[in-house]
């Protein structure tokens, strides 16, 4: 499949415009993402329609806590990524080519509405580098009344993002740090494009943000203050998921202590209405009204709406931006 968002140059070179890397690719080579290849002067998407993983997941696993709580969603992933995080949890498919399978479009759409699924989640590896396929499938799914969910690092240029957003119903965007040096040294990217993605996406679709908390890397009180304050300046109702780091891929630091996560949550709650801790079992991740603290959504095994009616808190009448 010929890629979108690139320009042909002299001597069979091409310039990719999909993400902020802006790779100039010579014939026979691939970009940073490893899935966009210059073949005889044409940029080809190598992972179009190629799946490494698929499953029915609870929507909370994305994580999305304010988007149809308790629902199932059919999740698909391919291979490749345009970042190279030292702590990558899915490095087997993100940082190297893996065994793949092809599934017909109609079968994906059928699976997307089976077993109580509300639609399709593009996840597991970075979906934006499968741009042509995600764009194609999300339009088909939208026509069938299915929801489209993007779980992404947010490292995409503004023009392709704007073209895709009308078909995306919800996004979980990974904001890894508020320090550009963290992005450069640990993720091989940069911070500002991710911030721009969050700002733009939040105007058009439901957005939740994940931050993987790594001790001595991005866990300082100063950084958590900056992170939460920046999000609150967009919308203090955007849910923030502070998730526990475990050693993975190239990073072998000890797992994040529970006390570090709870301290970060306390700081973030000074700015944001909804802050959750992830990758920790047995904690209270229910959703409470920011005005009266009435329980809105109970999470034990599945998310269950308990205190919302007509998009308002059943106790105090506070208007809520929660889709259910």
Q: What angle do CA 47, 51, 53 make, to 5 degrees?
A: 140
Q: What is the pLDDT of residues 236-258, one digit of tens each?
A: 999 999 999 999 999 999 999 99
Asked if residue 164 lies in contact with residue 129, where contact means CB atoms within 8 angstroms, the answer is no
- Token pair listed for 40: 């005889």
Max CA distance (Å), the chain: 68
Cα 70 to Cα 55: distance, rounded to the nearest angstrom: 16
Rounded distance between C-alpha atoms, residue 206 and residue 204, angstroms: 7
Contact 86, 248 (CB under 8 A): no
Which among 193, 322, 211 has a CA at the least distance from the CA of 267? 211
Strand partners, 240: 209, 275
Distance linking the first and last C-alpha atoms of the chain? 37
pLDDT of residue 192: 98
What distance in Å separates the CA atoms of residue 209 and residue 10, rounded to the nearest whole number? 41
50-285 homologous superfamily? Aldolase class I (3.20.20.70)
What are the residue ranges in the chain where pLDDT is below 70?
A: none
227 vs 247: CA distance, rounded Å? 23
pLDDT of residue 312: 98
Domain with CATH 3.20.20.70 in the chain: 50-285
Question: How do beta strands 303-305 and 295-299 pair?
Answer: antiparallel
pLDDT score, position 220: 98
DSSP state of 2: B
Beta-strand runs (E) in the chain: 6-8, 14-16, 24-25, 36-39, 42-45, 50-51, 53-58, 72-77, 101-102, 117-122, 147-152, 170-174, 206-213, 240-244, 275-278, 287-288, 295-299, 303-305, 308-309, 312-313
């Amino acid at each position: 499949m010929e890629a979108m968002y690139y320009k042909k140059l002299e001597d069979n070179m091409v310039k990719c415009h999909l993400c902020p890397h802006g790779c100039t690719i010579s014939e026979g080579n691939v970009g940073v993402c490893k899935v966009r290849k210059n073949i005889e002067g044409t940029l080809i998407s190598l992972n179009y329609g190629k799946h490494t993983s698929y499953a029915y997941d609870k929507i909370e696993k994305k994580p999305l806590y304010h988007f149809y709580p308790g629902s199932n969603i059919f999740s698909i992933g391919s291979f490749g990524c345009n970042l190279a995080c030292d702590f990558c949890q899915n490095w087997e498919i993100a940082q190297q080519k893996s065994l793949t399978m092809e599934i017909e479009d109609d079968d994906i759409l059928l699976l997307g509405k089976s077993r109580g699924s509300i639609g399709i989640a593009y996840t597991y590896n970075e979906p934006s580098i499968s741009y042509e396929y995600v764009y194609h499938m999300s339009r088909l799914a939208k026509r069938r009344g299915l929801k489209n969910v993007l779980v992404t690092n947010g490292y995409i240029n503004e023009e392709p993002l704007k073209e895709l957003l009308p078909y995306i119903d919800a996004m979980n965007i990974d904001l890894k740090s508020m320090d550009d040096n963290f992005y450069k040294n640990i993720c091989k990217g940069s911070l500002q494009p991710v911030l721009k993605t969050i700002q733009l996406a939040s105007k058009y679709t439901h957005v939740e943000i994940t931050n993987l908390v790594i001790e001595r890397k991005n866990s300082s009180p100063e950084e958590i203050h900056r992170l939460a304050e920046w999000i609150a300046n967009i919308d203090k109702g955007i849910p923030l998921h502070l998730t526990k780091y475990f050693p993975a891929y190239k990073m072998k630091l000890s797992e994040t202590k529970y006390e570090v996560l709870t301290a970060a949550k306390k700081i973030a709650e000074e700015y944001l209405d909804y802050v959750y801790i992830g990758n920790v079992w047995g904690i209270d991740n229910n959703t409470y009204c920011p005005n009266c603290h009435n329980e809105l959504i109970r999470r034990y095994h599945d998310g269950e709406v308990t205190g919302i009616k007509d998009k308002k808190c059943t106790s105090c009448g506070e208007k809520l931006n929660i889709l259910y």
